[in-house]
Each structure stands twice: as structure tokens, then as C-alpha cells.
Structure 1
Amino acid sequence: MTNDHSSRNDRWSRRRIVSAAGGAAVAGLAGCLGDSDDDEDGPVAVASFFTFYDFARRIAAETPVSVENLVPTGMHGHGWEPDPSIQRDITDADAFIHVGPDFQPWADRAIDTLQAETQETRLIDAREGVELIDLADSLDDDEAVEGAKDPHFWLDPELAMTSVDNIADGLAEIAPDHEDTLTEHAAEVKSELEALDAEWQAVFDAAERDVTFLAAHNAFAYVAERYDVTIEPLVVNLAADGDVRPADMQRAQETIADNDIRHIGAAVFEPIRPAQQLLEQTDVEAYYPVTPYAGTTESWHERGWGYLEIARNVNMPTFRLLADAASPEEVTFEDYGRNFEP
């Protein structure tokens, strides 16, 4: 399993091979493919978002199902817009794991195309059955799904468990002979998410302050909701570039001053200049990394980090600092640590 899809354009999937041949040749070729133990000949699932790619690869371990991340390393899975060739990757796959309607316009277009062409790709909606919270005032309406709901549910480990079940059920549709293994691995992932939930609770139980601040957009409302904390964001939308609105910057400066904030979070996949500006213009002493698990960096990929590892090595250390649950001397980072540069 890999999140590098650079070679997929040169690979003929089972569906393409079968459609390109005919008669007895098709039966013979398909039979050879079905008898192969090579993972490349097994079902292929592609994912539109890093978090659900990661859950899927863990669930599919020790089965012939291969899982691929469509979003390139280093890219944010929400704001990224692929070129039209991505449709071929999705059409050729046996399953497409996505985050539900209205979240990624390119994924919605790909699904419309699949349905118009009556393609056989199995659609796996990771969000199905999840009860979303209302969109906060600190989020732009452009980020709303299902009318006026916040889409970032996977930051709550308990809600993320529903997506694990959705993915396991979908993968079982394309690999029914391995349903038991898929179900077993899904249970293991959910057990790990349950443990992670307890670890997050411990971070905020040890907090010495009520308000934390992120020099980023508000993707963390589910963390605030789950653990009953206040997380103030700098900007309201993901499209924020290096030029933050003066009103947002003034509000940030007032929040930092009113709450005597010394440490703030900065998003790994967003412009770093706003955090640096706050470092220069307020009493903030340092900024530290946060991420809504929307992508992976090259260094995280090389370490094999997924959702769980990023939570424990990036987000949790930062929130321990932001909440004054630990001092800077007590917290270490593998990379992207204090005042990191993208």
C-alpha cells in the first residue's frame, strides 16, 4: 500500500484489461488475474483524503486490497484541486473512499461522472451516519456541508470510529472473501482511536488555561466540542493567504493579550507568515505545529506516520503547550517543532 500514485497512469487495472479484450481471451486473462497472489492484481481502493486513506490501509492490511492516496504528499486534502486525469484513477479503481458531498468539489464531480457513466467503482462515504455539529461563526460558509454543518468530524476520535466502520463495510464489498480480516482490523483501529480519545482527555484534564489560540483557520471545533475547551482561530476560511485581514489580526492580538497567551499553534499546511507576525507584534514567545490530518509531509510519510502517529507526535504535544499542561522543556518534537519553517 502506498500514498504515491505517480505510477498509476501506467498501470492497467483489472477493469481496463477486461474492457480492452474480448471473448475467450477475456475469460482466460481474468482467470489468471484472479488466481494471482500479487497485491497489484487484487482490488484497488483510492481515497480522496489522507485520514481515510490511512484508516483504509490499516483496515486492509494482510488482504489483497491495495489502498492509494490520491492527494500528493505535502498537499492539503481540502484545498487541493487535481487535474482532470484524476478521473481515470478513480474510474479504474474498485472503490473510491471520499468524505461525503460538498467537502471536495473535485470528488463530487468525479462521483457525478461515475454515476453518469454507470461505472462499477464502489463509492465509500466515510461520513455516512456521522452526526455533525453546526458550523461555527469562525468558519466560512464555503466550508459548510449538509446545509450549515462543520465537516471536520474526524478530529473527534469517537466520530472517526464511524468512518472506520464505513470503510470496512465498503472494502468488504470489493473483497468479500476477506471480510473477517477487514472487520478484525477495523476493530483494532477503533480500539486505538478509543485509547487516543482517552489521551486527548488527559491533555485537557491537565490544562492550566481555558483558552488556546491557533494562527490558522478553525478546523478544530470538534476537539473543542469533544473536550469542552475554547480554541480560538485566527482566520475563518482555508483560503486565507499570507495577507490576513486587519480585523482578524486585531482580534487575535486582543485574544492573546486578554488571555496572557505565550504559545500558539500554527497549521503545517497553511501560510506561516501570520504566526510569525503574531510572534513579532504580541507577547507570544513561540508557535508550534497543528494539523487537521488533511495531508502528510515528506518527513511524516518517511516515518510511516498516519492519523494516530500525527496525533501523538504533532497535535498532542502542541496542545499540551497551548493549554499549559506542560512546559516547553517537557515537550519534544521530531520535526516541525518550535517556530518551524514549512
Structure 2
Amino acid sequence: MKKNGYRFVLLSALFFLIVACSNNENEAGDQEQGEEETDGATEALEIYTTIFPLEDFANKIGGEYVHVTNLVPVGADAHTFEPTARDMISVAEGDAFIYNGAGLEGFAAALIDTINGETVAIVEAAKNIDLIDTSDTEPSEEGHAHEEGESHAHEEEHAHEGEDAHAHEEEHAHEGEDAHGHSHDQDPHVWLDPILSISMAEEIKNALIELMPEQEETFSSNFAELKAELEALDAEFTAMVEQAEKDTFLVSHAGYGYWERRYGLTQVGISGISPTSEPSQRELQRIIEFAKENNLQHVMFEQNISTKVAEVVTNEVGAEPLYLHNLEALVEEDVQQEEDYFSLMRQNIESLRTALQ
């Protein structure tokens, strides 16, 4: 806590120092900005986001009227990312800061406190979503709670009628906080559910309309197109699950609870809600035994998460690796191939189609 407090004080001091030094630069730019507005050009809104889905949705809704920057770099992890002082300055000078919320971004609270009083709009995309609560059940010392003699216990612990019995996630919940101080009493990975993503996109649309009301028709039209595409993606996901032979998949970290709730799937997460929470040796052995008993022939790796522990399970089980994209952040290959939310989610559908055979 002392280290975090020192870091916050230091970043705050740097923030005010850089702002003071940049006043002259801002004043010098006022005349240039005025000339641009006189010419009739509409200046794009400066939007800052924390995860790729928010960046992608903001671009799709805002179009030419937004310039979107994602704070979390390519290949990084939003769970552990920490912004620089310059990042904070940039956000403070922007028009909107859009973050997921639900405890995903451990840096968000400090950043918001630092920029408090500035004119930047603060948008919590997941604020109106019914989150999965991972603290309903006490953590079990039995690892992923696959009790001896009950080969289907995992199904009971994942009651799919809207219940939040994600026992394998709760066992990694760290009594509310992980080593980085991030709360994981709630599952923050809401963007993986296309229907919940509609709610997130609507928060973005509303914020853009408030910032640039003269473009309400454009933003509303773009949102309607995005909503229709998300609904179509949901239908594709549902069709894949209905055709699958299995409903259980083994994955490197337990970030897919919203697929469980929406589509009736069961994830077996090798790590917990946060990918930094590695399993104990006992938990790891139970995961391996469960995978063998249930003939899980694939382990799903993720694009921005260490594969060391997952590789142990893969080798012990004799499974084949597959890849899921958690969409928190892109990797260089995604950037080069110009992937978007929908192309990555459709890749996930195809990976699951193979894993659930």
C-alpha cells in the first residue's frame, strides 16, 4: 500500500508539473485551433480507452468524428498495466476516458482521481451490466471443486440458469484482491458476451452524443449497425454451441464466465479470474485428472497471457493446443491483419467448435 501511495503521489506531482509546463503550448495552439474552426472543419473528439473492444466500438460508432487511443499497449494485459504520467496528461487533455470497470483496470481509480476536475468525460462502459459475482461461494481447498466420486460435480457448480456458481474462479479470487490490488469479486470480462457488448456500446454512443450533439444522427445510426452485428454474432455463437458434442473446455485463465451464463458452456480455468493467480500444485493435479477423466483433448491458450502453467497441463494430459482471444488487447499479428472485434470473436467460435467436438 505504501508503494502504491508513493506511486500515486509521484504521478500526481508529475501530472501537475507537466500541465504547468504545457500551458504555454496550449495557449499557442488556441489560435491555430480557432483558424481550423473558422474554416468550418469539425475537430475529432480525442477518446482514450483501456481495452480493445472499447477502442473498436468507439471507432465504429464515432467514425470520422473521433480519434481513439487505447492506453493498454499491444500485447499487454489490462489486469496489470500501469499508465505513465504522460498517459495521465493525455487523458486529462482529451474529451473522454472510457474504461470497462468491474475491477478490471487496477489503475482506473487512481487515474480518475488524478484527472478529477478536468473537463474530460469519464465513461464506465460496464456500469449498467448485471455482473457475475464470484464471491457468492466460499473458496474450496479442493482446487476446482471436482469432488472425488462425482464426475459431474463441475456441472452443479456452473448452474447455467443465471446462477453465479463459478467455483473454479472463486478459488482464485484472493479474498477480493490479487497481488496488484485489483478486486475480483466480480467477473469483469463482459465484452466477451455479444449481447452485453450492446450495453457497453450504448454507453459509448450516449457519451459521444453528449460531447458532439450535432452528430447525434450519425452516432445513433452507427450504433444501430453495430447492435445488429452483435446480435448476429450472438446467433452464430448459439448455433455453434447447439451443434457441439461437449459443453466443457479447458482454458488458460477463467475469464469466460459470461459464455457459461449466456450459452450454457463450462470453462475449466487453469488460472483464476486474473491470469496472475496461478493454481496450487494440488489444484493443478485435479485439473489434469479432470481433463483426463472427461476426455478434454484441447487446452485453450490466450494471446497475451503466459502459457507456462497451461503448457504443463497440455503435456500431462496429452492435449492439443488451441487459441482463444480474450480481446483485452491485440498482439502485433492482429494489428498487421487489421482484426476487429467481430473477426476475433468468429475465430473464437471456430476454436470452440474444435474443442467441443
TM-score tier (shorter): 0.7 to 0.9
Structure 1 residue aligned with 2:280: 245
2:79 corresponds in structure 1 to: 78
Q: Is the 8 A contact 1:210 1:230 kept in 2?
A: yes
Equivalents in 1 of 2:327, 2:105: separation in Å?
15
Letter in 2 for 1:21: E
Name 2:159's counterpart in structure 1: none
How far has the Cα of 1:295 moved from its partner? 0.5
Q: Against the structure 1 CA distance between its residues 101 and 203, is the aligned structure 2 distance closer, same or farther, given a 3 Å change threshold? A: closer
Stretches of 4+ aligned residues off by more than 6 angstroms: 16-19, 143-147
In 1, the alpha carbon distance for the partners of 2:315 and 2:41 equals 55
Whether 1:150 aligns to 2:156 is no
**Aligned residue identity for 1:56:** A
Alignment of 1:118-267 (within 5 A): 118-135=117-134, 136-139=166-169, 140=173, 141-142=176-177, 148-214=185-251, 216-240=252-276, 244-267=279-302
Aligned to 1:48: 50
Instruction: Letter of the 1:57 partner, please give it.
Output: N
Query: Closer, same or farther in 2 for the Cα pair 1:146/1:275, shift >3 Å?
Result: closer
Q: CA deviation at 1:71?
A: 1.3
Alignment correspondent of 1:316: 349
Tell me, what secondary structure is at the counterpart of 1:177?
A: helix
How many Å apart are 1:52 and its aligned residue? 0.5
- Equivalent-residue separation in structure 1 for 2:177 and 2:56 (angstroms): 26
Normalised by the length of structure 2, the TM-score is 0.77
TM superposition shift of 1:102: 3.1
Q: Displacement of 1:208 after TM fit?
A: 0.4
How does the TM-score come out when normalised to structure 1? Answer: 0.80
Q: Would you say the 8 A contact 2:194–2:233 is kept in 1?
A: yes
Cα distance in structure 2, aligned partners of 1:111 and 1:303: 33
3-state SS, counterpart of residue 74 of structure 2: coil
Any conservation in 2 of the 1:78–1:104 contact (CA below 8 Å)?
A: yes
C-alpha spacing 1:35/1:219, structure 2 compared with 1 (3 Å): farther
Aligned residues: 300
- 8 A Cα contact 2:101 2:124, kept in partner: yes
Task: Please identify, of 222-231 and 28-37, the stretch whose mean Cα deviation from structure 2 is larger.
Answer: 28-37
- Asked if 2 retains the 8 angstrom alpha-carbon contact of 1:235 and 1:248, the reply is no
Q: Can you list the C-alpha shifts for 1:8-48, whole angstroms capped at 9, x where unaligned?
A: xxxxx9xx7798428xx95x544223245777x42211111
CA shift digits 1:297-329 (9 cap, x unpaired): 11111121121111112x1121111111xxxxx
Which amino acid in the other structure matches residue 276 of structure 2? A
One-letter code of the match for 1:267? Answer: E
Partner-residue secondary structure (3-state), 1:105: coil
State the identity as a percent. Answer: 25
- In structure 1, runs of 5+ residues without a counterpart are 1-12, 325-342
- Partners of 2:345 and 2:52 lie apart in 1 by 13
Gaps of at least 5 residues in structure 2 are 1-18, 135-165
SS for the counterpart of 2:262 is helix
Q: Which amino acid in the other structure matches residue 305 of structure 2?
A: E
Contact 1:261 1:283 in 2 (8 A): no
What one-letter code is carried by the residue in structure 2 that aligns with 1:89? S
SS at match of 1:52: helix
Q: 1:89 to 1:311 in 2, by over 3 A?
A: same
- Matching residue's letter, 2:198: M
**AA in 2 matched with 1:186:** F
